[in-house]
Structure formats: C-alpha cells, structure tokens
C-alpha cells in the first residue's frame, strides 16, 4: 500500500531556532495533509496541500508541496515552546478512501 516516510523522527531545538520536517513518498500524491499533536492530546488538522509546488503559510509555519507531488515539508520559523508536539503528514490513497499517516516528527523546544 501507499507509504509516506517522515524525517526526522525527533528534533531538539533551542527556542528561536528554525525547524523543518519532511514527508516523502515513492508515488505521486493527490494531496497531503498536516496535523499537530500536543503531548497527551489528539491530532489537530493544520492544512491541506493539493497543487504541485503549492506553498502555504500560517504565521510562522510554511508548508510546501513538491513539484512532483511526491514530497512535502513543514517549516517553523523561530520556534517557541508552544510549538512542542508531534507533527504528522498524511496522504490519501489512490482510491481516495483512506488516509495514510507518516510516523511523525516529535519536536522538543528548549526554553
């Protein structure tokens, strides 16, 4: 089945540093979604990317969808302690009826 690989698995940063997580697939994706899960919480939808080369911004978060629609990234500028959590990408399978999640990147921010 379709798989999405996410790297890195963990990332420690100093508050104020930037952070990036990457999502890669061997097959072309129809779209990709990003979620954030705070420690002990549930996943919360952040954004969905659909178009090749698409770039979307939410305050300090920048989301990109690759030109070939096989990879995506989430970049956080000047991290804050409130950014702590695990970030997941998720892709819809070819049949359009299931979401496949990446393994997630756990972000830890030192104040």
Partner 1 sequence: NAGVTQTPKFQVLKTGQSMTLQCAQDMNHEYMSWYRQDPGMGLRLIHYSVGAGITDQGEVPNGYNVSRSTTEDFPLRLLSAAPSQTSVYFCASSYSNQGPKETQYFGPGTRLLVL
Q: Which is nearer to partner 1, 28 or 80 (CB)?
A: 28
Peptide bond preceding 8 in cis form (omega within 30 of 0): yes
Q: Which is nearer to partner 1, 2 or 77 (CB)?
A: 2
Q: How far apart are the first and last CA of the chain?
A: 40
Q: What is the largest CA-CA distance in the chain?
A: 44
Q: Which is nearer to partner 1, 48 or 77 (CB)?
A: 48
Site for partner 1 (CB under 8 A): which residue of 7, 8, 18, 44?
Answer: 44
Kind of pairing between the strands at 10-14 and 105-110: parallel
Interface contacts to partner 1, rule CB under 8 A: 1, 6, 9, 31, 33, 35, 41-45, 48, 88, 90, 92, 95-104
């Amino acid at each position: 089945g379709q798989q999405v690989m996410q790297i890195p698995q963990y990332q420690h940063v100093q508050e104020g540093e930037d952070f990036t997580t990457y999502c890669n697939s061997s097959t072309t994706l129809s779209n990709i979604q990003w979620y954030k899960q705070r420690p002990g919480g549930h996943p919360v939808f952040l954004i969905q990317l659909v178009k090749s080369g698409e770039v979307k911004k939410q305050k300090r978060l920048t989301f990109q969808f690759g030109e070939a629609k096989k990879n995506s990234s989430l970049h956080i500028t000047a991290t804050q302690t409130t950014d702590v959590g695990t970030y997941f990408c998720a892709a819809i399978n070819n049949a359009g009826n299931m979401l496949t999640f990446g393994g997630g990147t756990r972000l830890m921010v030192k104040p």
